[in-house]
Amino acid sequence: MVCLHKADFFENLPEKKVHCFLCRRECIILDSKTGFCGVRKNIGGELFSLVYGRALSMQIDPIEKKPFYHFKPASQCLGISTFGCNFSCLHCQNYSQSQTRIETRILQVPFTSPEKIVKEAIDAGIEGIAYTYNEPTIFAEFALGTMKLAHEKGLYNAWVSNGYMGKECAKAILPFLDAINIDLKGGKKFYKEVCGNANVEFVKQNIEFFHSKGVHIEIAYLIIPGYNDSEEDFKEAAEFLSGIGKKIPLHFSRFFPTYKMGHLPETGISKLETARRIAEKAGLEFVFLGNVLGKEDSFCPKCKNILVKREGYSAEVQGLGKKGNCAKCGYKTGIAL
């Protein structure tokens, strides 16, 4: 018999229903059913996580792959994931994990405790843990258990997220969260039609929240031809971010056909360059191009000194002082070493 972990972030309702407020979908879940994410199940009027301890992947990655360019550059992290997601994006590159809703398959994954994950990271001699590949919000209890132990052992915690967590979840992870990369996927229409009737305003609220609390934040924007690739789209995203903090790194990534958008063309390089030009004009100081072979160095906005040299996922810190300031002119870059 499989022993399931009782979930947090829910309340009981009459007739054995539950209200899950882990994410902004706020699912009302009937007895024996799961929420939108497919991995939080109502059993007899109580909510349980099907994915607690079900670490589907555990692999060592450079932090640049997440992508984080200004958080612990050149470090390595242990990336963990489970099944499920609170989005249903038509272009998901990890759809085999994120869109799996088969309980028997989920529970076949061997149990891995938070203690084992932290030990794996320490034994590998790496600096931190990344909660990635599928949305970490939907395995928040598992992530939190791991994050607390990781901090006790001096490891960093970095989330790669769609930014759709509820307010209580955001507050719960805050004391143990060192960095978060949030997808800002497009505008209102994009979130409604491509992501499963989601609301971009909730994502923006969480971006503002984590930035205001001093969490290192970076933003990923995957450019999909014909969906979120207009100059107006780029300007809207860039001006929003610039209004929060001009040092927030923005990653414009190249789309390659996948999942239910396999019929679309890949993103042209000229489109990426246009996006970067618009974002820099809006005032953002660090704009990068992703999924493109080549070099993406970080330069000091003030004196143009090379701060971090990169080629692919390889990175080398060159022009930074101990506190992340430009070693040449002293400019405060916001890079967390």
pLDDT of residue 293: 84
Determine phi and psi for 37, rounding to 5 degrees.
-70, -20
- For residue 287, the cross-strand partners are 250
Residue 320 has pLDDT above 60, yes or no: yes
Strands 250-254 and 10-13: unpaired
What whole-number distance in Å separates Cα of residue 177 and Cα of residue 228? 30
Q: Which of 56, 52, 38, 44 is nearest to 7 (CA)?
A: 52
CA 186 to chain CA mean position, Å: 15
Q: Check pLDDT > 60 for residue 319.
A: yes
Per-residue pLDDT at 102: 85
Helix axes 269-281, 231-244, angle to 10 degrees: 40
Strand residue runs (E) in the chain: 5-6, 10-13, 17-20, 28-29, 40-43, 46-49, 57-62, 76-81, 128-131, 156-161, 179-183, 216-223, 250-254, 287-290, 298-299, 306-311, 314-317
Contact yes or no for 278/236 (Cβ under 8 A): no
Residue 93 to residue 289: CA distance in whole angstroms: 18
Record the tokens describing residue 127, joined without a space. Answer: 């600096």
Secondary structure of residue 134 in the 3-state scheme: coil
Amino acid at 77: C
The mean per-residue pLDDT over the stretch 49-60 comes to 96
The pLDDT of 8-15, averaged and rounded, is 98
Nearest Cα residue to 325 out of 247, 265, 244: 247
- The pLDDT tens digits of the residues spanning 188-240 come to 999 999 999 999 999 999 999 999 999 999 999 999 999 999 999 999 999 99
Q: What pLDDT score was predicted for residue 3?
A: 81
Give yes or no for a contact between 215 and 177, defined as CB atoms under 8 angstroms apart.
yes
> What pLDDT is recorded for position 336?
98
CA neighbor of 184 nearest in space, from 116, 234, 226: 234
Q: Does domain 57-317 have CATH number 3.40.50.150?
A: no
Q: In DSSP terms, which residues pair with 23 in a beta bridge? A: 165
Domain ranges of the chain: 5-49, 57-317
Residue 184: both structure tokens together: 């800002």
Task: Residue 66: count other Cβ atoms within 10 Å of its Cβ.
Answer: 25
Report pLDDT digits (tens) over 272-301: 999 999 999 999 999 999 999 889 999 999
Does the structure show a pLDDT above 90 at 128?
yes
d(CA 306, CA 272): 22
Tell me the per-residue pLDDT of 73-124, one tens digit each, with 9 for 90 and over. 999 999 999 999 999 999 999 999 999 888 999 999 999 999 999 999 999 9
Per-residue pLDDT averaged across 139-160, rounded?
Answer: 98
pLDDT above 60 for 1: no
Q: Determine whether 328 is exposed, middle or buried from the number of CB atoms within 10 Å of its CB (0-12, 13-18, 19+).
A: middle
Q: What is the value of pTM for the model shown?
A: 0.97
Q: What is the mean pLDDT of the chain?
A: 97
pLDDT 10s digits, 301-311: 999 999 999 99
Helices 114-124 and 140-152 cross at an angle (nearest 10°) of 50
Best CA proximity match to 59, nearest among 83, 82, 79, 81: 79
